[in-house]
């Protein structure tokens, strides 16, 4: 499952150049990293100085919709703080001219959820009557180290990433992704892939919906391997979260190999097992 907030219905109200440009780039066959870099460059080249300085009221009214759609299309792939602030700014300018429609509010709300600005998302929900559930209280930590969101009886908490020394496997999965469900069933059934369990961390990628209910169901049935949620920009370097299921093999906090999906023959995972379990055992047995 590819995780894209842009799966929300697209508006037909704009055929402006910048939105068309980034949308066309989005469908190109380059690798994800290359495509997103090209999208971001085209976007940055096409926005006016007023948007860079967050002075959206001074942007001509007939440009605001195009800039809103283009900004949303870029931010859903990488919800960094600058792009989120630009989308909020454009939304406010559109609201100020009584031009806002429900999809404007829903798109901003989804981006706020994905960027983990839960308080702001709740405020938007209340102000515009968005038909979504209220989000739990959340305070994000500062700093730059890897972090994740965990669920407890008290709510949701931003915590440091688990100890990164040695080998670790990060499984990027989603509760509503059928391939993720099949992959995790194989891992958790106590047979072929059970060797992964001592080093396994489950991570649900950020998206426009907060999947707390489904995560809690999984966690109740698998208390030794609960699902945690992504904090965008705070995963270990190299851990990609734009599709599911994906398995990342890390050594001392650095990604050394990645497996997309769960191949039926399991040859790739057999190689991982040899690398992280059998070879170290052989070395310990050697005189």
Task: Identify whether residues 255 and 207 lie together within a single domain.
Answer: yes
What pLDDT digit, counting tens, does each position of 228-248 carry? 999 999 999 999 898 899 999
Query: Using only C-alpha atoms, what is the Rg of the chain?
Result: 21
What pLDDT digit, counting tens, does each position of 191-223 carry? 677 788 889 999 999 999 999 999 999 999 999
Range of the domain at 234: 147-285
- In a domain, residue 83? The reply is yes
Residue partners of 43: CB distance under 8 A and separation at least 6: 18, 22, 70, 71, 74
Task: Identify whether residues 250 and 154 lie together within a single domain.
Answer: yes
Task: Identify whether residues 94 and 34 lie together within a single domain.
Answer: yes
Task: Identify whether residues 158 and 109 lie together within a single domain.
Answer: no
Q: How many CA atoms lie within 13 A of 268 on its CB side?
A: 12
Q: How many CA atoms lie within 13 A of 206 on its CB side?
A: 26
Which pLDDT belongs to residue 281?
A: 46
Q: Which residue has the higher pLDDT, 260 or 114?
A: 114
Q: Is the pLDDT of residue 269 over 90?
A: no
Nearest to 161 by CA among 176, 148, 179: 148
- In a domain, residue 142? The reply is no
Helix 17-26, helix 61-75: angle, nearest 10 = 20
- In a domain, residue 140? The reply is no
Which pLDDT belongs to residue 7?
A: 41
Which pLDDT belongs to residue 139?
A: 92
Q: Which residue has the higher pLDDT, 166 or 94?
A: 94
∠ CA 145-148-151 to the nearest 5 degrees? 150
Task: Identify whether residues 120 and 162 lie together within a single domain.
Answer: no
Residue partners of 13: CB distance under 8 A and separation at least 6: 65
Which pLDDT belongs to residue 20?
A: 95
Please give the average per-residue pLDDT across 63-86, as a whole number: 95
For the chain, the domain total comes to 2
Task: Identify whether residues 124 and 190 lie together within a single domain.
Answer: no
What pLDDT digit, counting tens, does each position of 7-50 carry? 444 444 444 589 999 999 999 888 888 899 999 999 999 999 99
Q: CA-to-CA distance for 57 and 42, rounded, in angstroms?
A: 23
pTM above 0.85, yes or no: yes
Residue partners of 177: CB distance under 8 A and separation at least 6: 1, 244, 245
Q: CA-to-CA distance for 116 and 8, rounded, in angstroms?
A: 18
Q: How far is CA 180 from CA 199, 232, 243, in A?
A: 18, 20, 10
Task: Identify whether residues 151 and 123 lie together within a single domain.
Answer: no
Alpha-carbon dihedral of residues 8, 12, 17, 21, nearest 10 degrees?
40
Q: Tokens 């310990």 identify what position?
A: 284
Q: CA-to-CA distance for 101 and 94, rounded, in angstroms?
A: 9
Which pLDDT belongs to residue 60?
A: 97
Q: CA-to-CA distance for 190 and 110, rounded, in angstroms?
A: 37
**End-of-domain residue from the set 95, 128, 161:** 128
Task: Identify whether residues 197 and 94 lie together within a single domain.
Answer: no
Q: Tokens 């669920």 identify what position?
A: 151
Q: Is the pLDDT of residue 283 over 70?
A: no
What pLDDT digit, counting tens, does each position of 114-159 carry? 999 999 999 999 999 999 999 999 999 888 889 999 999 889 999 9
Please give the average per-residue pLDDT across 111-116, as a whole number: 97
Task: Identify whether residues 118 and 154 lie together within a single domain.
Answer: no
Q: CA-to-CA distance for 191 and 59, rounded, in angstroms?
A: 60
Whether the CB-CB separation of 18 and 70 falls below 8 Å is answered with yes
**End-of-domain residue from the set 81, 100, 128:** 128
Residue 184: which pLDDT band, with cuts at 50, 70 and 90?
Answer: confident
Please give the average per-residue pLDDT across 61-77, as a whole number: 96
Task: Identify whether residues 34 and 121 lie together within a single domain.
Answer: yes
Is the bond preceding 125 in cis, omega lying within 30 degrees of 0?
no
Task: Identify whether residues 192 and 253 lie together within a single domain.
Answer: yes
CATH of the domain at 189: 3.40.30.10
Residue partners of 251: CB distance under 8 A and separation at least 6: 166, 167, 168
Please give the average per-residue pLDDT across 80-84, as a whole number: 94
Task: Identify whether residues 113 and 156 lie together within a single domain.
Answer: no
């Amino acid at each position: 499952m590819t995780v894209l907030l842009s799966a929300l219905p697209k508006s037909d109200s704009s055929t402006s150049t910048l939105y068309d440009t980034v949308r066309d780039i989005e469908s190109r066959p380059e690798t994800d990293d290359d495509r997103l870099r090209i999208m971001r460059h085209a976007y940055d080249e096409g926005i006016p100085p007023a948007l860079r300085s967050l002075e959206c009221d001074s942007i001509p009214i007939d440009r605001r919709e195009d800039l809103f759609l283009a900004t949303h299309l870029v931010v859903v792939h990488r919800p960094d703080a600058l792009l989120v602030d630009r989308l909020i700014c454009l939304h406010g300018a559109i609201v100020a001219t009584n031009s806002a429609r429900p999809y404007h509010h829903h798109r901003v709300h989804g981006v706020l959820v994905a960027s983990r600005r839960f308080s702001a998302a709740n405020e938007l929900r209340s102000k515009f009557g968005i038909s979504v559930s209220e989000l739990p209280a959340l305070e994000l930590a500062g700093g730059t180290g890897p972090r994740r969101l965990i669920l407890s009886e008290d709510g949701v908490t931003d915590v440091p990433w688990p100890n990164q020394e040695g080998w670790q496997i990060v499984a990027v999965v989603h509760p509503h992704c059928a391939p993720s469900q099949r992959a995790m069933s194989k891992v958790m059934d106590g047979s072929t892939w059970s060797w992964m369990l001592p080093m396994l961390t489950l991570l649900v990628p950020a998206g426009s919906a907060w999947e707390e209910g489904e995560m809690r169901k999984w966690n109740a049935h698998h208390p030794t391997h609960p699902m945690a949620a992504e904090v965008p920009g705070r995963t270990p370097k190299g851990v990609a979260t734009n599709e599911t299921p994906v398995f990342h093999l890390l050594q001392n906090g650095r990604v050394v190999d990645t497996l997309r999906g769960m191949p039926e023959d399991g040859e790739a995972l057999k190689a991982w097992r040899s690398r992280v379990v059998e070879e170290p055992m052989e070395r310990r047995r050697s005189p």
